[in-house]
Amino acid sequence: MMKQTGSATLKAAVALMCASALTTPAFAQDDDAQAQQGGIAEIVVTAQRREQSLQDVPIAVSALGGDQIAEAGLTNSLAIGDNVPNLEIKTFGGVPNIFIRGVGNNDFNSSSVGPISIYRDDVVVAATGSQMFALFDVDRIEVLRGPQGTLFGKNTTGGAIHYISRLPDDYLEGYARAGYGRFDLFEAEGAVTMPLDEGLSMRASGIVRRRDGERVNLFTGDRAIDVDEAAVRAILRYNPHSDLDIRLSGGTGRDRSDYFHPKPLGTAGGANIFGYSDPAPDDWSVLNFNADSRNYSDNAWASLNVTIGLGGGLTLKSITGYDDTEVDNRVDVDGSPVSIDEIKFATQTEQFSQELQLAYSADRLDAIVGLFYFDEKLESQADADLVGELTFEQGGIPLITVASRDNKSYAIFGQASYEVTDRLGLTVGGRYTWDEVDATHRAFLVPGYFDDDVPNGPEIDLVPYAELSDTFKAFSWRLAADYDVTDDVMAYASVTKGFKSGTFNIGIITSVAERTKVEPEYLTSYEIGVKSTLFDRRVRFNASAFYYDYTDLQVLSVNQQGNGVPTLGLDNAADATVKGLEVEILAEPVEPLSLGLNFGLLDATYKNYTSGAIDPVTGQPRDFSGNRLPNAPKFTMSSFAAYTFPISSDLEAGLRAEYNYTGKRYFNNGEDEQVSSGDGHGLVNLRAKLAAQDGGWELAAWAKNVFGEKFLMDATDLRDFGFIPLYYGERPTWGVEAIARF
């Protein structure tokens, strides 16, 4: 592993940046972008819910284009973490845990809600089971860092990630891709645009990806962590003239992969409470577990986006979205042949959203006002025959948790940007949101209820049935100023307030004390930044510095009941401060060469947090004040070098190398060494291609984690059971692929 300190690493990164003026993968360069001859292509983003050049947006935004995504080999929505500064993504129990600038969700319950909003083609994707999907035929991904409560709404205290599909053109075109790789990886992907009539066209696309497990389960002798996923999407577009654009989109995805199982680190004399210890603790290629393993999901979604030009600078937009997801996960958390902590997650979530926007654009004024409605229904129930089972098995007497949540959200919002002078612009915006949350919850034991799903004993209430209800209201806002220092350099400053809505803890709990209600959390961000395009468009340099005042954090924490028994629940447990720096650079010193670098520095700490966890030495509650927030490494970096050169009048070749580094992370609130990544880690990825110069076809070979870096993605504090589950990252993989375009 890379053992360089954060300070030394930063110095090395800055030296490399200054010497080479490298770029970052976080700034995409696509063939269909508005390229400037002999310079870096312009990137158009919709970070302010309207099309703008990336360099004109006074927000810290990273954009990955479709070509960049394909060359980096990003296969799913959660694979982008290494390509954006201060972005960390992991999963536990099938639940995505996304962190931007140290702000994120560290909860394993499938009913959890994170502070990073996910959008797909302008529609919010709230259900955690819907947020993990295959990446294919993508135009770009936009990552907005910092609170986005004005235009993107609640639950964006950390930021928002927007996945944007490629739209159909008005001519026949498409592509097909097939690949094969290590562990019998097979991939097939394709898309086609079909003109149907004047102004009417459709694009259909899909992907299949299968792979045998990259590890071996010693208990069964079978491979573990298999991959089996497929998805399709269709977009029908009617765009007869510039004042009317109607897009009807729909898709479905199916995942039958294994759960990403851990290796257990024994903490009771090297073993767990049943005396089991891992027979191969240093070999990350083998596991040894006895329970079912699955990470199943079925997702279907549809959206209707209608844009109408009203004249006089006015545009009306309607965005209607629907999403339905079923999840069935089986997790052997203890990772052993004995049954200590085995979980079945199964939920069904259905959501509907409607947004109306009225935008105005004039010489110096751009403004938008809107209304938003959202309705989400989540069901989880302990019935093996119904979608929605949520089962915890321990010692043959499982805890069955039955829960539901109905969340209705309403909002009114507006934002205006005005050019005070030819160089100075001001932005002001606000959003008022009110949420109505209704939930039910019950937890009970069924003795003799084993994997045959046949109850053999009476139900014993552990957490009696309850109906929970509350309303949460909040106002979020944004103030910003931007100034064109020169025609190619823009500086900005902003103050933004965002919030994450209140909720109820209705996950896997064992006492009434854990069924907590949490109030909204709030984050006020102070940010300055610069965006510049220099040296005749050969270098793009963007940087931002920020300070967060973070209050009433919703933290998954340990608390103490009156009888001294510890409980696990969500609480408004802490305040925190977050500060940091991000740099993204893009350079093309000569036409065939692209070089890249980005990095993030982060200092995210609890300011005031006394936990209910008891220190075994002092017998007093543990004080976590001053501890680093979970999944908030002090330093992250990504870099690449790509060189394309002709080898004949018709052929060209290309080479690409990446190096991505993530610093040390703690995975719990206590900053415990055993529940951390240990050291930082660096990964090297390579790709080589041979292609037709007209882009008609391409052959490529690739490799990831070339040097076999062994690294931890996550760890869970289960020392009360005598072990800590350790989740190691993916082993070295390689493969080949062929692409044909028409």
Residue 113 pLDDT exceeds 80: yes
Q: Which among 408, 430, 598, 583 has a CA at the least distance from the CA of 498?
A: 430
Q: How confident is the model at residue 17 (pLDDT cuts 50, 70, 90)?
A: very low
- Is pLDDT of 397 > 70? no
Q: For residues 58-73, give the mean pLDDT.
A: 94
Neighbours of 8 (CB within 10 A): 11
Q: Residue 87: is its pLDDT beyond 70?
A: yes
Average pLDDT over residues 2-22: 37
Query: 246 φ, ψ to 5°?
Result: -120, 125
The pLDDT score that the predictor gives to residue 642 is 96
Position 26 confidence tier, pLDDT thresholds 50, 70, 90? very low
Convert the pLDDT of each residue in 327-362 to its tens digit: 988 888 889 998 777 788 889 999 999 999 999 999
Least reliable range by pLDDT among 296-300, 420-424, 432-436, 561-565: 561-565
pLDDT at 568 over 70: no
The answer to whether residue 682 scores a pLDDT higher than 50 is yes
Which class for 347: exposed (0-12), middle (13-18), buried (19 or more C-beta within 10 A)? buried
First CA to last CA across the chain, in angstroms? Answer: 44
264, 271 Cβ separation under 8 angstroms: no
Residue 147 has pLDDT above 60, yes or no: yes
The answer to whether the CB of 270 falls within 8 A of the CB of 259 is: no
Phi, psi (rounded to 5 degrees) for 17: -65, -45
Cα(684)–Cα(661) distance, integer angstroms: 9
Q: 382 pLDDT exceeds 60?
A: no
Write the pLDDT tens digit of every residue in 118-142: 999 999 999 888 999 999 999 999 9
pLDDT in the model for residue 15: 36
pLDDT at 463: 87
Using one digit for the tens of pLDDT, what is the confidence trace for 505-546?
888 777 887 888 999 999 999 999 999 999 999 999 999 999
Joined tokens for residue 630: 């979970």
pLDDT tens string 240-279: 999 999 999 999 999 999 988 899 999 988 898 888 999 9
Alpha-carbon dihedral of residues 30, 81, 178, 640, nearest 10 degrees?
60
The whole-number pLDDT of residue 742 equals 95
Quickly state the pLDDT bin for 447 (edges 50, 70, 90): low
The DSSP secondary structure of 43-110, one letter per residue, reads: -EE-TTSS-EEGGG-SS-EEEEEHHHHHHHT--BTTTTGGGSTTEEEEEETTEEEEEETTEE-----T
C-beta separation of 141 from 147 below 8 A? no
Among 161-175, 402-416, 450-464, 718-732, name the one with the lowest average pLDDT: 450-464
Residue, of 386 and 39, whose pLDDT is higher: 39
Distance CA 480, CA 489 (A): 17
Percentage of the chain beyond pLDDT 90 is: 72
Which of residues 332 and 711 earns the better pLDDT score?
A: 711
Phi and psi at 184, nearest 5°, equal 55, 40
Q: What is the mean pLDDT of residues 140-149?
A: 96
Given a cut of 70, whether residue 734 has pLDDT beyond it is yes
Q: CA 47 → CA 82, 141, 164, 353, 741, distances in Å?
A: 21, 11, 12, 19, 30
| Dist CA 644 CA 468 (whole Å) | 60
Burial class (CB in 10 A: 0-12, 13-18, 19+), 647: exposed
Is the confidence at residue 470, as pLDDT, over 90?
yes
Alpha-carbon torsion 178, 184, 185, 188, what sign?
A: positive
Q: Which helix (H) or strand (E) holds 318?
A: strand 314-332
The whole-number average pLDDT for the span 60-88 is: 93
pLDDT tens digit string along 196-223?
A: 999 999 999 999 999 999 999 999 999 9
Q: Tokens standing for 502? A: 């209140």
Mean pLDDT score across all residues of the chain: 88
357 vs 390, residue with greater confidence: 357
Percent of the chain at pLDDT > 70 equals: 89
Residues 6+ apart with CB under 8 A from 435: 154, 407, 408, 409, 410, 471, 472, 473, 501, 502
Give the pLDDT confidence of 601-648 residue by residue, as tens digits: 999 999 989 887 777 677 778 889 999 999 999 999 999 999 999 999
Global confidence as pTM: 0.91
The residue type at 421: T
